[in-house]
Amino acid sequence: MGIKKISDLPFYTEGPAMDSKGNIYCTTLSGGTILKIDAENKITEWAYSDCPNGQIVLPGDDHLICDVKLAAVRRFDSKGCFVKSEIEKYCAGIEVYCPNDLITDSNENIYFTDSVRHQGKICFVGTNGEQSILAKDLDYPNGLALSFDQKTLYVAESYKNRILKIDLESPGRTKDDIEIFAELPAHSSGMETDNLPDGLTLDHEGNLWVAHYGMQAIHKLSPEGSLLASIDTNMRLTSNLFFYDQGTIVVTGGYSEPGPGGLFRVFL
């Protein structure tokens, strides 16, 4: 295992994603930019939004990006041009405040978190126009991951320092009550802000990986929720992660907010 820095950046970074050509993207919340990193690690400003956060790249290379300041989930085309807002300020008739992270299923239905203290929500926007609120009154729901069979949604509840599990009956509809999937290690300082799980991703074996914002770490959890490993990222604020390939994780974050930020590869 090893860690290699891709780049230091002026702003704290979020929203790591990859397109069909292997280009890596990340967002800079305070910088208002979506950055593109090519195979030679050349970094360019690919697109702009008011305060971009979570990001995914769809199979056709459109990007969906949560914008915290605009309270929107925004679509950009493969060239970085803004197309439209999938939602803005409201979902299922309910006001949303801070779209943070998002995931789509195989039909490009969208799940996203509205990250506020105590009254946070998990929201759904279907390609058929259906909208729903899957959960509410959460304490800062953050990163999301969807199981391979698309029947389970994992959610990082940041200020509870835990991962929740939601069984789905069908897209946008819950089957059972929310369960606690895993309680995470707590920082020795005892301060809430030194914990705060953030981004989530699954590996090819179904293990759940967690970016632990205040712990300078990523954690590997088994499909049953047991802690299997913790890796020091060398980055004080570790925000998000995705698998570039089966043996490489790309990790975003920074050393303080609003910056400086960084981007790392973790080799397993």
- pLDDT of amino acid 177: 86
Report the chain's mean pLDDT, rounded to a whole number: 96
Domain ranges within the chain, ordered by starting residue: 2-267
Confidence of residue 227 (pLDDT cuts 50, 70, 90): very high
Extract the tokens encoding 1: 């295992």
Q: pLDDT (tens digit, 9 = 90+) per residue, 32-80?
A: 999 999 999 999 999 999 999 999 999 999 999 999 999 999 999 999 9
Q: Which residues 6+ apart lie within 8 Å of 21 measured at CB? A: none
Q: How far is residue 254 from each of residues 14, 27, 53, 251, measured CA to CA in Å? A: 9, 12, 14, 10
What pLDDT, on the 0 to 100 scale, is given for residue 38? 95
pLDDT (tens digit per residue) in 95-144:
999 999 999 999 999 999 999 999 999 999 999 999 999 999 999 999 99
Residues paired with 37 in a beta bridge:
24, 43
DSSP reduced 3-state for 24: strand
Q: Which fold has domain 2-267?
A: Neuraminidase (2.120.10)
**The CA-based dihedral angle spanning residues 71, 96, 135, 104, taken in that order and rounded to the nearest 10 degrees:** -30
In angstroms, the first-to-last Cα distance of the chain is 5
Sign for the pseudo-dihedral over CA of 125, 126, 128, 133: negative
Q: Look at residue 73 in the predicted model and tell me its pLDDT.
A: 98
Predicted TM-score (pTM) of the model is 0.97
Residue 194 has pLDDT above 90, yes or no: no
What is the H or E stretch that residue 168 is in? strand 162-170
**For 159-187, what is each residue's pLDDT tens digit?**
999 999 999 999 999 988 899 999 999 98
How large is the average pLDDT for residues 213-241?
A: 96
